């Protein structure tokens, strides 16, 4: 079992993502609106109240937060079907709040304050999606775990007052677990506000994380609490880690996600910033662990039986090796 030590450059960030998604980033650079603009609404949007405008960076957030309403075009999201029920409208409003670029709008007024109370949003038992994704991390998801050592934030959302108040009412944040160096968003603000300790792998230490209190090293998993296991998974970055919660939920960062079009687990070959072969070996090591749910930073979540998840992971490894 590995351990954490007290420590005595972020290299890619949006630069790599701008290379992968040039048109989306070009649109964002031109417009950069604070709120969605109906005049820039995509033609594909279903007629009605909700719309997506041309500042969308195609981060996928709305498509898994509110799959009944949002669809995918070649390089952007759009409203595929207007919400038909109060529940669907609530999910669409959560997607609006979570959107990192403010690209989702409505033509009529809604009770956004009521929707704000929807975050943190339950994702599993004692696991919550925090919403409020940040453009600086290309819309990566972040989560909150209720654990025996207190509340654990996995990666970081934007620092916004409604979420901060909700976290205060829920007991604050004891620990911030950073899966890797890309998706830092506003972690410093949450760290300072709640006095939280920060966990990161030493191979992903950079200017913003050099003062982290707990630094993992090597490839051995390290126990943060009886139900929390940090698993190094180098590949996407040199210091990528997953967090395994209660042998049920894998918070996978940018290491592993579900692709609904391919209908299987995937890794991001075109967004592997460190070493694809190393990422394959990291994926193989995950076979030793039991989990039923994958909650990624980017991409869609997956929820299967443990047996199905193991089979899916084996299939993902074969898929990755075919792309080596």
**For residue 113, what are the contacts with CB-CB under 8 A and spacing of at least 6?**
162
Sheet arrangement for strand 249-253 = 222-225, 228-232, 241-245, 249-253, 293-296, 302-303
Closest CA to 92 of 131, 37, 148: 131
**Token couple for 272:** 């592997």
Determine the Cα–Cα distance for residues 68 and 82; give it in Å rounded to an integer: 8
Residue 18 pLDDT: 43
pLDDT value for 319: 96
Which of 237, 248, 233, 313 lies closest to 281 in space, CA to CA?
233
Q: What is the pTM of this model?
A: 0.89
pLDDT along the chain (324 residues), means of 10: 45 38 43 72 97 96 98 95 97 97 96 93 98 96 98 98 97 98 96 98 96 92 97 98 98 96 93 97 98 97 97 97 94
What's the confidence (pLDDT) of residue 9? 30
Strands (E) across the chain are located at 4-5, 50-52, 70-72, 77-79, 104-106, 121-124, 127-129, 143-147, 150-154, 175-177, 197-201, 214-216, 222-225, 228-232, 241-245, 249-253, 257-259, 264-266, 293-296, 302-303
Give residue 138's pLDDT: 93
Q: Which domains does the chain have, with CATH numbers?
A: 14-116 (3.30.70.20), 119-321 (3.60.15.10)
The pLDDT of residue 2: 62
């Amino acid at each position: 079992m590995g351990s954490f030590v007290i420590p005595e450059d972020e290299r890619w960030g949006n630069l790599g993502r701008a290379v992968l998604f040039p048109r989306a980033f070009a649109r964002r650079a031109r417009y950069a609106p604070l709120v969605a603009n109906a005049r820039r609404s995509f033609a594909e949007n279903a007629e009605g109240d909700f719309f997506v405008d041309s500042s969308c960076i195609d981060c996928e957030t709305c498509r898994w937060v509110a799959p009944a309403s949002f669809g995918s075009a070649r390089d952007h999201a759009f409203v595929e079907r207007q919400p038909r029920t109060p529940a669907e409208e609530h999910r669409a409003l959560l997607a609006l709040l979570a959107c990192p670029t403010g690209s989702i709008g409505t033509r009529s007024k809604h009770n956004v304050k009521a929707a704000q109370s929807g975050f943190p949003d339950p994702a599993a038992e004692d696991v919550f999606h925090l919403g409020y994704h940040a453009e600086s991390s290309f819309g990566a998801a972040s989560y909150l775990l209720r654990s025996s050592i207190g509340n654990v934030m996995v990666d970081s959302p934007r620092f916004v007052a409604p979420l901060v108040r909700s976290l205060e009412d829920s007991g604050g944040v004891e620990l911030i677990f950073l899966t890797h160096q890309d998706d830092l968003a506003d972690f410093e603000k949450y760290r300072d506000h709640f006095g939280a300790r920060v966990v990161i792998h030493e191979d992903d230490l950079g200017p913003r994380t050099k003062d982290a209190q707990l630094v993992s090293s090597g490839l051995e998993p390290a126990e943060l609490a009886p139900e929390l296991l940090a698993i190094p998974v180098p590949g996407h970055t040199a210091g990528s880690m997953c967090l395994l919660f209660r042998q049920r939920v894998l918070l996978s960062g940018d290491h592993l996600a579900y692709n609904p079009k391919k209908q299987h687990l995937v890794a991001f070959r075109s967004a592997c910033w460190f070493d694809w072969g190393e990422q394959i070996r990291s994926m193989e090591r995950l076979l030793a662990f039991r989990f039923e749910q994958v909650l990624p930073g980017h991409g869609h979540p997956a929820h299967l039986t443990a047996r199905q998840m193991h089979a899916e992971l084996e299939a993902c490894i074969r898929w990755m090796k075919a792309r080596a």
